[in-house]
Amino acid sequence: MREPEPASRPADVPPHPGPHAPVETWTGRASGRLQWFLAVAGLACLALGVELAVDSSWASGITPLVMAVVGCIAAGLLILYGTLAFVHVAVRVDDDALEVRCGHLGFPRRRILLGTVADVDYAPSVCPRHWGGWGYRWRPERGMAVVVRRGEGLVLRLTDGHSLTVTVDDARSAVRAIRNRLPEASSSY
Q: Which amino acid is at 68?
A: A
Instruction: Report how far residue 176's alpha carbon sits from residue 179's, in angstroms, rounded to the nearest whole number.
Output: 5
The residue-averaged pLDDT of 60-86 equals 85
Residue with the bigger pLDDT between 70 and 189: it is 70
Three-point CA angle 76, 79, 84, nearest 5° = 120
Closest CA to 126 of 103, 102, 142: 142
pLDDT at 56 over 60: yes
**C-alpha neighbours within 13 Å on the C-beta side of residue 17:** 11
pLDDT at 187 over 50: no
pLDDT tens digits along 90-148: 999 999 999 999 887 778 899 999 999 999 999 999 998 999 888 888 998 889 999 98
Closest CA to 166 of 104, 115, 100, 107: 100
Determine the pLDDT at residue 23. 61
pLDDT at 166 over 90: yes
Q: Provide the phi-psi class of 116: left if phi over 0, else alpha when psi is between -120 and 50, else beta.
A: alpha
Instruction: Report how far residue 143's alpha carbon sits from residue 170's, in angstroms, rounded to the nearest whole number.
Output: 22
pLDDT at 12 over 60: no
Q: Which amino acid is at 167?
A: T
Instruction: Report how far residue 121's alpha carbon sits from residue 11's, in angstroms, rounded to the nearest whole number.
Output: 32
Determine the pLDDT at residue 26. 93
Residue with the bigger pLDDT between 76 and 16: it is 76
CA dist 136 to 62, 78, 82, Å? Answer: 38, 15, 10
Determine the pLDDT at residue 22. 53
pLDDT at 165 over 90: yes
Q: Are 110 and 73 in contact (CB under 8 A)?
A: no
Q: What's the pTM value of the predicted model, to 2 decimals?
A: 0.69
H or E, element range at 157: strand 151-158
